Structure 1
């Protein structure tokens, strides 16, 4: 991972990412996708599925296919400065990106039997998401998608040349669906327990960006999907604005609750700062700080 030292003057791009969970005999697992090495954003890193908000995501015809209206979704996202349509569009963006990147169609109940190949073929033929959903009479149950956290890239970015305002959602993978990377944006699908992912990161087996590191730290505290979802539903998604600074020539990113951060109250467990060492970000106290 290369350190980016430029100051980014453009405003952050609205985006959505989704944390997909499942329960297994080995414990709760989370889905990570390895971004294509040639990607200009976190190439080679393992990330949660996600991407930018598209204008199409706010199309009235598409929003009409959601099980909850825009006003309800606006209230759930808890961002009063957004329009209801834009808030609803972020839910759509999370669902769309999950399908495009790993062929998982979120918002399906156990009674639903979506024709996923038909949807894929419709989109491949040039139909828009709004057209495809109307033609196939699909409805998405947005209550299954729980707002989790919101991360805003600082102007002095560290691992990307772009700024993002990313809303992370959390949900279970619908029964009967199998994740499959697209071999375009993503080149590997990895189901892993959060603890295993952090250990593999520490052992230099996989590469993670700070939001994924800290997200996995949060998830590692939960024994199963019910625990993780219940915790997310019990509070509003915290806003995380990392604040970078250089300490003894080492780029450091601090989070709410750190003595150097402008927000004194911590919003998640684990370390409150990461240091850029060994061409990646690490906590001051090593692996133990991620797992304790």
Structure 2
């Protein structure tokens, strides 16, 4: 992972990302996708499915297919300053990106392989999401898509050349659906426990960006999906604005609760800063700080 040293003057782009969970014999697992090595955003890193908000995600015809109205979805995001259609569009973007990147269709009471294939065929033929949902008479339940955290990239972004205002949602993967990468934006699908993902990262087996590292630290506190979902439903999504600084030639990112951060209330458990060493970000106290 290469360190970005540029100052980004453009405003952050609204985006949505989905943390997909499932229970297994090994415990709660989370889905990670490996970004294509040639991608200009976190190429080669393992990430949660997600991407930018499209204008079409806010179309009235598509929003009418959601189980909750735009005002309710705005309230669930806890962003009163955000327009209702834009707030609802972020839920749509999360659902769309999950399907585009790993073929998981969220928000369906029942989903058959034929329904999934029909949607895939419709989109491949050039239909928009709105057209496909109208033609296939699909409805989407947003009730189980839970706002989790909100991350806003600083102007001195450390691992990307763009700024993002990303709303992370968390949900259980629907029964009967199998995640598979698209071989375009993502080249590998990985189901893993959060703890195992952090250990593999520490052992240089996989590459992770700071939001994924800190997200996995949060998830490692939970042994099953209901525990993680209940915790997310019990609070407002914390707003995380990382504050980077360079000290002794080392880029350091600090988070809420760190002595150097402008917000003294911690947003989540785990280390409050990551240091860029060996071409990756590490906590000061090593792996133990991620698993403690």
TM class by shorter chain equals: over 0.9
SS at match of 1:229: helix
Aligned to 2:192: 192
Aligned: 1:67 with 2:70: no
Aligned: 1:108 with 2:125: no
SS at match of 2:204: coil
Aligned: 1:157 with 2:160: no
Matched residues in 1 for 2:78 and 2:49: separation?
A: 22
Per-residue Cα deviation, 1:68-112 (whole angstroms, up to 9, x for no partner): 010110100110111100000000000000000000001122x45
Aligned to 1:211: 211
Aligned: 1:174 with 2:162: no
SS at match of 2:85: helix
Aligned to 1:274: 274
Aligned to 1:131: 131
Matched residues in 2 for 1:197 and 1:23: separation?
A: 15
Matched residues in 2 for 1:156 and 1:243: separation?
A: 8
Per-residue Cα deviation, 1:183-215 (whole angstroms, up to 9, x for no partner): 000000000000000000000000000000000
User: What is the CA-CA distance between 1:113 and the residue it aligns to?
Assistant: 4.0
Aligned to 1:97: 97
Aligned: 1:55 with 2:28: no
Aligned length, in residue pairs: 291
TM superposition score normalised by structure 2 = 0.99
SS at match of 1:142: coil
The equivalences for 1:19-58 within 5 A come to 19-58=19-58
Aligned: 1:232 with 2:232: yes
User: What is the CA-CA distance between 1:248 and the residue it aligns to?
Assistant: 1.1
Per-residue Cα deviation, 1:15-51 (whole angstroms, up to 9, x for no partner): 0000000000100000000000000000000000000
TM superposition score normalised by structure 1 = 0.99
User: What is the CA-CA distance between 1:144 and the residue it aligns to?
Assistant: 1.0
Unaligned ranges ≥5, structure 1: none
User: What is the CA-CA distance between 1:241 and the residue it aligns to?
Assistant: 0.1
Matched residues in 2 for 1:246 and 1:125: separation?
A: 49
Matched residues in 2 for 1:67 and 1:270: separation?
A: 35
Matched residues in 1 for 2:204 and 2:127: separation?
A: 42
Unaligned ranges ≥5, structure 2: none
Matched residues in 2 for 1:214 and 1:106: separation?
A: 24
User: What is the CA-CA distance between 1:247 and the residue it aligns to?
Assistant: 1.2
Matched residues in 1 for 2:102 and 2:157: separation?
A: 27
Matched residues in 2 for 1:165 and 1:142: separation?
A: 20
Matched residues in 2 for 1:201 and 1:84: separation?
A: 38
Aligned to 2:7: 7
